[in-house]
Amino acid sequence: MPQPVPGVTHVAAGQISDAVANPDFDVSAAGRSAATTSDPVARVRRPAPCSEGCPASEDVRHWVLALRDGEAAVFAAWRTIVATNPLPAVLGRICYAPCEEGCWRTRLDSPISIRTLERLVGDRALAEGWVLPDPGPRVGRRVVVVGSGPCGLSAAYHLARSGHDVVVREAHSAAGGLLRRGISEARLPKAVLDDEIARILALGVELETRRPVRKVSDAFGDAEGVIWAAGASMCMALAEGRTIWKQPVHAGPHTGPRRRTATVSVGHGMRAAEALSAHLAGAEPTASTPSSASTRPTAPLLLSAASPPTSSLVPDDLGALGDGAGIAPEASRCLSCRSLGAP
C-alpha cells in the first residue's frame, strides 16, 4: 500500500464494486452530459479528472491506459483520440494540457506527460499513413463550414463522420486559420498541419480556398445547414435561417487569460457539429454551452492498492520518449483513477 496522500482514498481492488472499478466511460454527448448529473450511478461513471479536464472531450484515461501495452497499443490509442479530436499531432504540440493540471499523479510526484504521449501517437499515425475511420452512410444533406481553423476543421470532420456532404470555405489560400498563420514553424511545422488536414479532406470533405463569406446568409445557398467558424470569434450552427447552437470560440469553463487555444476550438467545433446533426435528423439539439468541467476535481479518488512507479520525466521531454521506448513506462504511471463526482 502506498503512503497516504492528502485528499486521496486508497482501497484494494476487491473492495470496489464492479460498477466503480470498471466504469464504462462514455465520450458521447450523452455521456458528457451525464458527468454533471446528481444521479449516484451516473456520478460513479463520471470521467476521470484528465478526461473531464480535456476541452476536446478526449477519453484521455482510456487511451493512456491502453499505451501501457507499448507499441502494440499505439494504433488503438490513436483511434480513441480521433473519436473526438481529429488533430492529435497538432494538439500534441500546442495544447496547454489541462489534462495534466487535473492529473491526480501530481499528488504523488508529477503528472503523466499526456501531451507528449499524444504528440507521439499523432506523429506515428502520420508517419505510418493511418487513415481516419470511414464516415457513416451518406444522409444526403449538404452543410457548409465557414472557416478552416481548428473549430471549422473539427466541425467538418464530425459532420463528415455523421454522413453529411461537407464543404469548407476558407478566405485564405490554405486551410488552417490561426494554426497556420499564428503559430511558429518551430512549434507547429506546417507539414504536420497539412498532413492532418489532408486526412480530414480524405473523408470526402470539400475545401474551397479564397472563398470569403461576409455574411451568414451568403453561406447557405443550397446548403441545409451552416457552421460559422470564421474569425476566431463565434462558433455557430445554423439551419433554416436561425441559430441552433452558438458559443464564443474563446469562452467556456476551460478558458482564461492564457487558454484561448485551439483545443477549446476543437471541442466547440465538435459540439456545433453534434447540435447541427441532431437538428437535421429531427432531434433536439444539444445545449448551447459546453459541459462544465473542473481541471482539479475535489471529489474522492479511488486508487489501486499498488501505485505505479514514479518518473523523472519532464513534460514534453521528447528525449525520454522520442524513440517510443518510453511510451509504456510513462503510461504505466497512470493511476487508473476515476472521480466519484463532486457534489
Enumerate the domain spans of the chain.
9-130+298-331, 142-280
Do the Cβ atoms of 92 and 181 come closer than 8 Å? no
Do the Cβ atoms of 177 and 232 come closer than 8 Å? yes
One fold for 9-130+298-331 and 142-280: no
The three cell numbers locating residue 165: 456532404
The length of the chain is 343
Q: pLDDT value at position 23?
A: 35
Measure CA 218 to chain center. 30
If you classify domain 142-280 with CATH, what class do you get? alpha beta
φ, ψ dihedrals at 163, nearest 5°: 95, 10
Determine the Cα–Cα distance for residues 22 and 53; give it in Å rounded to an integer.
20
Ordered per-residue pLDDT tens for the chain, 343 residues = 334 333 333 333 333 233 233 333 333 344 444 434 444 444 445 678 999 889 999 999 999 999 999 888 999 999 999 999 999 999 999 999 999 998 989 888 999 999 999 999 999 999 999 999 888 889 989 999 999 999 999 999 999 999 999 999 999 999 999 999 999 999 999 999 999 999 999 999 999 999 999 998 899 988 999 999 997 778 999 999 899 999 987 655 554 444 558 999 999 999 999 999 999 998 654 444 333 332 223 233 333 333 333 333 334 445 556 556 789 999 999 998 864 443 3
Q: pLDDT value at position 6?
A: 38
Q: pLDDT value at position 127?
A: 96
CATH fold of 9-130+298-331 reads Fumarate Reductase Iron-sulfur Protein; Chain B, domain 2 (1.10.1060)
Determine the Cα–Cα distance for residues 183 and 191; give it in Å rounded to an integer.
13
Which of 48, 164, 114 lies closest to 313, judged by CA? 114
Q: pLDDT value at position 251?
A: 56
Sign of the dihedral defined by the CA atoms of residues 81, 86, 90, 95, in that order = negative
The three cell numbers locating residue 113: 506527460
